Amino acid sequence: MTRTPTAPQPLRVAIIGAGPAGIYAGNILTRAVQDAGGEVGIDLFDSLPAPYGLIRYGVAPDHPRIKGIVNSLHEMLDAGTIRFIGNVAYGTDLDLADLRAHYHALIFATGAIRDAVLGIPGIDLPGSYGAADFVSWFDGHPDAPRDWPLDATDIAVIGNGNVALDVARMLAKHPVDLLPTDIPATVHAGLAGSPVTDVHVFGRRGPAQVKFTPIELRELGDIPNVDVLVYQEDFPRDEHSEQRLAASNNQVKVMTRTLNGWLSREPTGAPRRLHLHFLHSPVEVYGAGRVEGMRFERTEPTADGGVRGTGEIIDYPLQAVYRAVGYRGSALAQVPFDKARGVIPNDGGRVVDGQGTPLPGLYATGWIKRGPVGLIGHTKSDALETVTKLLEDHDLTVQPGRPAEDAILALLDERGIRFTTWSGWLALDAHERSLGQADLSTVTRERVKVVPRDEQVGIARSESLVVS
Ligand SMILES: Cc1cc2nc3c(=O)[nH]c(=O)nc-3n(C[C@H](O)[C@H](O)[C@H](O)COP(=O)(O)OP(=O)(O)OC[C@H]3O[C@@H](n4cnc5c(N)ncnc54)[C@H](O)[C@@H]3O)c2cc1C
């Protein structure tokens, strides 16, 4: 950085991560600077060729309403004030010194894509999978394997949050009902070959302590040709549970009503069943060389709002286990990282070192800032907080060495990095939509995702005529 006494230059900011957090940060920053009569140039980098982060590669394909949030994010990027630069990985293609040389400030919005650990014996047996990997597969993430082993009739899903419900629903749903979604053909073919009959979702806590949201829970009851089963013994009527329910918020009351309704519903004899079990604490995954079952200890509610083991052991014979016990952020090169929480340590968005001292010009937002909890909407308030700090701090008299807009693109070209741009994404987007229209298997396919990275980049850069 050099200190220049000349007239202020436009603020140059790099945002790393084009998920919702990064896009909201770019939009809020643009508006704030423009409203103050200033100028800002924002480059939004992502390691993937396409924008939208977990909206494209996390949100389940049968949730088009949520995926529709991309429409407003699209408008923010299409306004031309934020420059999308895809297929560029921070830490591999560009490092901290590169970015510091080109920008006044950097905002890390790299999210979380790995599974949190579930430390029980047998969790690494063949047939045991992380939800994040499965989600990446069914959402067509370019770095996920193309095939997924779907050979189990009885499957456990561990966790009582919305990701567990997404995984259970995707496993239990009849593939024909997924045809109208954007799933790649390979995913549809994989699901069509699945012999699954029973998907069991297990939670450690009671039905009044689930972390689902009411819409996601209710949706289970509407899956065609799938019975939802809950069990009376998982609904304790003890004083602690009753007190907790009475003190709970409306969401919990609504969900408790939904669950109680299923208690009295007769199964229809559907070929697939989705079982919800509560008060089951995972003990081990067992099997000789691969998953053959899972052992749980029954728990009971305690006065402090938790649960404790009762000593009662219950075994379920199964052939596959999916752990949906949370996501985890990954460390970034040359940026502090809190290993225990899986986040970049920060003070309201200002990245801090081990002593809590802010590192000038470095900011964080979204899941990498506060951990992998919360909905897309929460990343907006995150972004506002981070951008507010950035604007309080910035000092335009300190110039980066190479502030010219095209300098970073020249560097990427020099390094032979096949970056994608916003117009490239528009081309890929149009291509995916045309694949959807060409698919005559159903009349309402909005898009079919292109999966391989090379193919996405090729279409986005118009490098070759790709037939998918
Ligand atoms: C399975 C699943 C289902 C969900 N369903 C819903 C839902 O239905 N409704 C809802 O509101 N919320 C849902 N969420 C939550 C929602 O996805 C998150 O709140 C949101 O995506 C977090 O935004 P983010 O921008 O912080 O992270 P992300 O969306 O993860 O975006 C981070 C971006 O950073 C990029 N990146 C990472 N590392 C690098 C690097 N080194 N260099 C360059 N780029 C990098 C990634 O490629 C990614 O594009 C779901 C989450 C999951 C996991």
User: What is the tens place of the pLDDT at every residue in 284-310?
Assistant: 999 999 999 999 999 998 888 889 999
Taking CA atoms, 379 is separated from 1, 20, 282, 336, 397, in Å, by 31, 7, 32, 21, 30
Does the CB atom of residue 47 touch ligand 1 within 6 A?
A: yes
Distance (angstroms) between ligand 1 centre and the Cα of 235 equals: 34
Report which ligand 1 atom has the smallest distance to the Cα of 54.
29
* pLDDT at residue 396, as a whole number: 66
* pLDDT at residue 68, as a whole number: 84
Digit-coded pLDDT (tens) for 138-167: 999 999 999 999 999 999 999 999 999 999
Digit-coded pLDDT (tens) for 66-116: 888 999 999 999 999 999 999 999 999 999 999 999 999 999 999 998 999
Tell whether the model's pLDDT for residue 8 goes beyond 60: no
Does the CB atom of residue 53 touch ligand 1 within 6 A?
A: yes
Does the CB atom of residue 344 touch ligand 1 within 6 A?
A: no
Does the CB atom of residue 181 touch ligand 1 within 6 A?
A: no
Are β-strands 114-115 and 327-328 bridged in parallel, bridged antiparallel, or unpaired?
antiparallel
* pLDDT at residue 440, as a whole number: 60
Report which ligand 1 atom has the smallest distance to the Cα of 110.
34
Does the CB atom of residue 89 touch ligand 1 within 6 A?
A: yes
Query: Which amino acid is it at 375?
Result: L
* pLDDT at residue 442, as a whole number: 59
Report which ligand 1 atom has the smallest distance to the Cα of 374.
19
Taking CA atoms, 36 is separated from 15, 40, 43, 238, in Å, by 21, 11, 20, 59
This model's pTM is above 0.85: yes
Tell whether the model's pLDDT for residue 7 goes beyond 80: no
Q: How many CA atoms lie within 13 A of 32 on its CB side?
A: 18
* pLDDT at residue 48, as a whole number: 98
Does the CB atom of residue 66 touch ligand 1 within 6 A?
A: yes
How many residues can be counted in the chain? 468
Does the CB atom of residue 138 touch ligand 1 within 6 A?
A: no
* 75 exposure class (CB count in 10 Å sphere: 0-12, 13-18, 19+): exposed
Distance (angstroms) between ligand 1 centre and the Cα of 375 equals: 10
* pLDDT at residue 449, as a whole number: 92
Digit-coded pLDDT (tens) for 183-241: 888 999 999 999 999 999 999 999 988 889 999 999 999 999 999 999 999 998 777 77
Digit-coded pLDDT (tens) for 381-426: 999 999 999 999 987 667 788 888 999 999 999 999 999 999 999 9
Distance (angstroms) between ligand 1 centre and the Cα of 452 equals: 19
Are β-strands 307-317 and 398-399 bridged in parallel, bridged antiparallel, or unpaired?
unpaired
* pLDDT at residue 441, as a whole number: 64
Q: What is the torsional sign of CA 163, 165, 169, 171? A: positive
CB environment 284-320: b (16+ within 10 A), e (fewer): ebbbeeebbbbbbbbbebeeeeebeeeeeeeebebbb
Task: Report how far Cα 362 is from the mean position of its chain's Cα atoms.
Answer: 23
Report which ligand 1 atom has the smallest distance to the Cα of 113.
30
Kindly report the protein residue whose alpha carbon is nearest to atom 4 of ligand 1. Answer: 59
Measured distance CA(84)–CA(424) in Å, rounded? 10
* pLDDT at residue 237, as a whole number: 79
Does the CB atom of residue 70 touch ligand 1 within 6 A?
A: no
Digit-coded pLDDT (tens) for 326-360: 999 999 999 999 999 999 999 999 999 999 999 99
Digit-coded pLDDT (tens) for 267-280: 999 999 999 999 99
Give the pLDDT mean for 20-31. Answer: 98
Tell whether the model's pLDDT for residue 57 goes beyond 90: yes
